Amino acid sequence: MMTADDLPSLRQKIDDIDQQIQALLVERAHVALEVGEIKKSNHDEPVFYRPEREAAILSNVMARDCGPLEPKAMAQIFRTIMSANLAVQQPIDVAYLGPEGTFSQAAALKQFGHSIQQQPQKTIADVFKSVAHGRANYGVVPVENSIGGIINDTLEALVKTPLTLCGEVTIPIQQNFLVAAGDESAIKKIYSHEQSLAQCRDWLDEHYPRAKRIAVASNGQAALMARQEAGAAAIASLDCAELYHLHVAATNVQGKNDNATRFLVIGQQQLEASQNDRTTLLVTVKDDTGALEHIIQPFAKHKVNITFIKSRPAPNQAGHYVFVLDVDGHRDNSDFKACLKDLVEITDNIKVLGSYPKAVI
């Protein structure tokens, strides 16, 4: 059995291992540089970020023996390593719904790591514009919350955008009631994103039934307004509390503890198949009886599994609905192509938004 006398030798052993790790990280970075140089020499517009490659690496990391470490913890370490290596090859700009402290920022950092150049935007539409106009390489936008449902601003942008989906990331959502220093009972206005207000409706009804609830573009903006206005509060993340120097009056004020939001990565590249892909598409049909059944039939016929489906009125098309579908598999799969061929016969419009690796961590 080891004792305190063994600590110096164990710490020296850790120091020696750290030196070996650092040397290997430097070696890996040099190899990444070589990969980057080959890409630059062989392509006029080289693509440095390869989500399908990164997803495969992370999946392999989690499948190997991680010892006493959790597989996801090990994958997060490699996520950081890959982010640093990508920055060495070519720094990338990532747009997200800002300001700082939003869940969108947290999703961007989880997907890309901390070595990116961050571009917070005022609205979800601005995220799409930033990528479409080449000011950012990629964007991260919320698409679906487990409590509040689909994010309408994102859906509207997806219907119109020429951009492609390049990835997905899901993060757990903890909503918190944030106030500036002062009397919490004097709160007259509560700011947050409309989705967050919906998620926390029951808690607000119980604790602040008379306070006016005001929807703003993001929870980060809500926190900033709560900081600046007397008698105001915000529902936002703990990061917002720290960034904007707000007091956390209550935590976990959302309706369910398993609250999570799924985000999509938007860009301008088509991805090759990975080990485990998802494809998202939009299908527009007339608002007729049995429309949903007609859409589902080709997927069932060709054994393409639908994992998500949601409809809403089609913008600028009276009497039509647009369905958002997530299905398992890549757009190049023969079963999916056969399914699309059948769908063309029974729908007004089909738009494949992209195929991308399913979230790994």
* CATH code matching the domain that covers 93-173+260-266, chosen among 3.90.1150.10, 3.40.190.10, 3.50.50.60, 3.40.50.740: 3.40.190.10
Q: Could you report how far apart the first and last alpha carbons of the chain are, in Å?
A: 37
What's the count of helices (H) and strands (E) in the chain, helices before strands?
12, 15
Chain region(s) in the chain for CATH 1.20.59.10: 13-89
CATH number of 270-357: 3.30.70.260
Return the pLDDT at 256: 81
Return the pLDDT at 183: 67
Return the pLDDT at 77: 97
Residues of the chain with pLDDT under 50: none
Chain region(s) in the chain for CATH 3.40.190.10: 93-173+260-266, 176-250
Residues 144-181 have pLDDT tens digits of 998 888 888 999 899 999 999 999 999 999 999 999 97
Chain region(s) in the chain for CATH 3.30.70.260: 270-357
Residue 16's identity, in one-letter code, is: D
326/358 Cα distance (integer angstroms): 11
Does domain 13-89 fall into CATH 1.20.59.10?
yes
Residues 85-108 have pLDDT tens digits of 999 999 999 999 999 999 999 999
Q: Residue 232: helix, strand or coil by DSSP? A: strand
Contact 158, 353 (CB under 8 A): yes
SS3 sequence of 242-303: HHCCCEEEECCCCCCCCCEEEEEEEECCCCCCCCCEEEEEEEEEECCCCHHHHHHHHHHHCC
352/162 Cα distance (integer angstroms): 10
Contact 59, 360 (CB under 8 A): yes
Contact 218, 154 (CB under 8 A): no
Identify the architecture of domain 176-250 in CATH: 3-Layer(aba) Sandwich (3.40)
317 to 66, 133, 151, 344, 346: CA distances (angstroms): 53, 27, 20, 18, 17
